[in-house]
A = this chain, B = another copy of it.
Amino acid sequence: MVQVILVDDHKVFLQGVEALLSRIIDFNVIGAFTNGLEMMRFLAEGNIPDVLLLDIEMQPIGGVELAENVLRQYPEVNVIMLSTYFNEDFVQELMNSGIKGYLLKSTGFPEIKAAITKVAHGGFAFSPEVMEVILKGFSNKTETKVQEKNEFGQLTAREVELIRLIGEELTMKEIAAQLFLSEHTVKTHRKNIMAKMDVKNTAGLIKKAFILGFIE
């Protein structure tokens, strides 16, 4: 019997998947949450699942952040990330943090079912699109040891804050005023953000921020 917990802020999605999973005799959905904090509380009460299905695009706490927290405290949990989009930079980072799967929401239910079974038994499960990138990443890493910079270093809290404000259509000047910072500082932050995200301009920044769930 595989104990499963679901987290997704799309309530209909959550209920739909729950309904589908509940029909399967091997699975037991012990929790379904639209909110990461509630899920954390549930875990703290001793309800530890075999498999945790986490949506990436959530507010205010994104799935990635949640996954990292959960795995720090309960490394035995098998985490599968669910996402609408597919972001390359992410995969690398998530792999290191110990997740067992990354599925796109365009995936059908049978695949999700198979994925849960797989990871519950120590396996991995990635959508084909994701798998491709992982393999590509591998060969990149082994062949070219030089390029070590573009690792998408984790964004800091401050940087994420900036991203949100940029998303609110504020200019650097306005952000500086709002945060009581020098305009220079704010510009430096944005520069660093763009480097970390590997984007060329504001358009790219906002687009990626959206995909990563920093703005909504």
Footprint of B on A, CB under 8 Å?
A: 9-13, 15-17, 19-20, 23, 34, 82, 84-85, 105-109, 112, 166-169, 171, 199-207, 210, 215-216
30 residue pairs bridging A and B, Cβ less than 8 Å apart:
A9-B106, A10-B84, A10-B106, A11-B105, A11-B106, A11-B107, A11-B108, A12-B112, A13-B16, A15-B16, A15-B20, A15-B109, A16-B16, A16-B17, A16-B19, A19-B19, A19-B20, A167-B207, A169-B199, A169-B201, A169-B204, A169-B207, A201-B202, A202-B203, A202-B206, A203-B205, A206-B207, A206-B210, A207-B210, A207-B215
How many copies the complex holds: the figure is 2
User: Hey, which chain B residues are within 8 Å of A12, CB to CB?
Assistant: 13, 16-17, 82, 105, 107-109, 112
Residues A203 and B15 in contact, CB atoms below 8 Å apart: no
